[in-house]
A and B are shown apart, each in its own frame.
Chain A
Amino acid sequence: MADINVMGNIPKKVIIPLRQHNGTDCDPLVKKGDQILVGQMIGECSSDDCTCVHSSVCGEVVSVEDAPNPCGKEIKSVIIEPAEVENCVDFIPTEDIEAVDLIKIIKEAGIVEHYGTPTHRVLSPEGKDIDSVIIDATSSEWVDGHFDTPVQYGIKIFGSLKLLMKAAGASTGAIVLRNDDMDSINAFDGLVYDDKNMNVAPLLGKRHIGYYLKDQGSDMVVVSHDRIYGKDRLSLFTHHVTGRKVPVNCAPADVGIAICSIKSAKALYDILHEGKPCIETVVSVSGKVKDPQRVLVKIGTPFKDVIEACGGYVGEPAKLIANGAITGVAQYTDEVPVTKVTTAITVQGPDEIHYDETIACIHCARCVDVCPVELVPSRLAALSDQGRFDECRQMNIVNCIECGKCAAVCPSKIHILQLIRYSKESINRAYEDIAPKESSNLKLGCSCGSD
Chain B
Amino acid sequence: MTFTISAPPHRKDEITFKKINWSKMAALLPVILISIYFFGIPALGIILAGVLSAIVFEVAIQKVFNQKISIADGHAIMIGLMVALIVPPEVPIWIPMAGSLFAIAIGKHIFGGIGSYVFNPVLAAWVFLNLAWGSIMTPVSFPQLGAISNLVLENGAGLLIGVSPIALLGGLVLIYLKYVEWRIPLSYFMTTMVLALLVGDNLSHVITGAFLFGVLFIATDMATSPVTKNGRVVYGILCGILTVIYGHFDNYVYAAFYGVFLANCVSSFIENVTLPRPFGTESYLQNKYRSIMKKIPFEKLGVSIDE
Are the CB atoms of B10 and A364 closer together than 8 Å? no
Are the CB atoms of A360 and B16 closer together than 8 Å? no
- Interface of B (DSSP majority class): loop
Q: How far is the CB of B127 from chain A (nearest CB, A)?
A: 21
- Cα(A327)–Cα(B8), bound, Å: 5
- Cα(A179)–Cα(B229), bound, Å: 27
> Contact string, A326-350, partner B, CB cutoff 8 A, digits 1/0?
1111111110000000000010100
Q: How far is the CB of A160 from chain B (nearest CB, A)?
A: 29
The one of B10, B15, B115, B281 in contact with A361, judged by C-beta atoms closer than 8 angstroms, is B115
- Cα(A245)–Cα(B3), bound, Å: 41
* A213 close to chain B: CB less than 8 A: no
Q: Which of A99-107, A124-132, A316-324 contacts B (4 or more CB under 8 A)?
A: A316-324
Q: Which of B47-55, B86-94, B97-105, B272-280 contacts A (4 or more CB under 8 A)?
A: B272-280
Residues of the A chain whose Cβ atoms lie less than 8 Å from the Cβ of B275: 376, 395
Are the CB atoms of B8 and A331 closer together than 8 Å? no
Contacts A319-B4, A325-B11, A327-B8 given; does A373 touch B279 at CB 8 Å = yes
Are the CB atoms of A333 and B278 closer together than 8 Å? no
For window 226-275 of A, CB contacts with B under 8 Å fall at 236, 239, 245
- Cα(A364)–Cα(B24), bound, Å: 14
Q: How far is the CB of A291 from chain B (nearest CB, A)?
A: 19
- Interface of A (DSSP majority class): loop
For window 368-424 of A, CB contacts with B under 8 Å fall at 368-369, 372-376, 378-379, 395-396, 399, 404-405, 407-413, 415, 417-418
Residues of the A chain whose Cβ atoms lie less than 8 Å from the Cβ of B227: 363, 365, 368, 376, 378-379
Q: How far is the CB of A313 from chain B (nearest CB, A)?
A: 9
* B114 close to chain A: CB less than 8 A: yes
The CB with the most chain B CB atoms within 10 A, among A245, A331, A365, A415, is that of A365
Are the CB atoms of B8 and A319 closer together than 8 Å? no
Q: How far is the CB of B157 from chain A (nearest CB, A)?
A: 31
Who on chain A is nearest to B278 by CB?
A: A396
Are the CB atoms of A239 and B19 closer together than 8 Å? no
Q: How far is the CB of B181 from chain A (nearest CB, A)?
A: 6
Contacts A245-B281, A368-B229 given; does A411 touch B6 at CB 8 Å = no
Q: How far is the CB of B245 from chain A (nearest CB, A)?
A: 26
* B284 close to chain A: CB less than 8 A: no
Contacts A331-B3, A332-B3, A411-B17 given; does A365 touch B279 at CB 8 Å = no
* B9 close to chain A: CB less than 8 A: yes
- Cα(A399)–Cα(B280), bound, Å: 10
Are the CB atoms of B276 and A330 closer together than 8 Å? no
Who on chain A is nearest to B19 by CB?
A: A411
Are the CB atoms of B277 and A374 closer together than 8 Å? yes
The one of B113, B276, B281 in contact with A360, judged by C-beta atoms closer than 8 angstroms, is B113
Are the CB atoms of B228 and A417 closer together than 8 Å? no
* A84 close to chain B: CB less than 8 A: no
Q: How far is the CB of A102 from chain B (nearest CB, A)?
A: 32
Residues of the B chain whose Cβ atoms lie less than 8 Å from the Cβ of A363: 115, 222-223, 225, 227
- 16 new A-B contacts, CB < 8 A, other than A239-B279, A325-B11, A369-B181, are A321-B10, A325-B10, A359-B17, A359-B114, A362-B222, A363-B227, A365-B226, A365-B232, A366-B15, A368-B227, A372-B279, A376-B228, A407-B12, A409-B13, A410-B12, A412-B17
> Contact string, B225-261, partner A, CB cutoff 8 A, digits 1/0?
1111100100000000000000000000000000000
22 contacts between A and B (CB under 8 A): A239-B279, A317-B1, A325-B8, A325-B11, A352-B10, A359-B70, A359-B73, A359-B114, A360-B114, A363-B115, A365-B225, A365-B227, A366-B178, A372-B279, A374-B279, A376-B228, A376-B276, A407-B8, A408-B11, A408-B12, A411-B13, A412-B115
- Cα(A112)–Cα(B121), bound, Å: 57
Are the CB atoms of A368 and B228 closer together than 8 Å? yes
Residues of the A chain whose Cβ atoms lie less than 8 Å from the Cβ of B114: 359-360, 362
Residues of the B chain whose Cβ atoms lie less than 8 Å from the Cβ of A359: 17, 70, 73, 114
Are the CB atoms of B8 and A375 closer together than 8 Å? no
- Cα(A333)–Cα(B116), bound, Å: 42
- 9 closest Cβ contacts across the A-B interface? A404-B9, A245-B280, A365-B227, A374-B276, A396-B278, A362-B115, A364-B222, A325-B10, A325-B11
Are the CB atoms of B11 and A317 closer together than 8 Å? no
Residues of the A chain whose Cβ atoms lie less than 8 Å from the Cβ of B232: 365
The one of A346, A356, A418 in contact with B10, judged by C-beta atoms closer than 8 angstroms, is A346
* A437 close to chain B: CB less than 8 A: no
* A353 close to chain B: CB less than 8 A: yes
* A354 close to chain B: CB less than 8 A: yes
Who on chain A is nearest to B7 by CB?
A: A418
> Contact string, B167-180, partner A, CB cutoff 8 A, digits 1/0?
00000000000100
Q: How far is the CB of B196 from chain A (nearest CB, A)?
A: 28
Residues of the A chain whose Cβ atoms lie less than 8 Å from the Cβ of B16: 356, 411, 413
Are the CB atoms of B4 and A353 closer together than 8 Å? yes
Are the CB atoms of A417 and B222 closer together than 8 Å? no
- Cα(A348)–Cα(B8), bound, Å: 13
The one of B9, B277, B278 in contact with A327, judged by C-beta atoms closer than 8 angstroms, is B9
* B20 close to chain A: CB less than 8 A: yes
- Cα(A66)–Cα(B9), bound, Å: 28
- Cα(A408)–Cα(B73), bound, Å: 20
Q: How far is the CB of B153 from chain A (nearest CB, A)?
A: 34
Are the CB atoms of B9 and A417 closer together than 8 Å? yes
Q: How far is the CB of B126 from chain A (nearest CB, A)?
A: 21
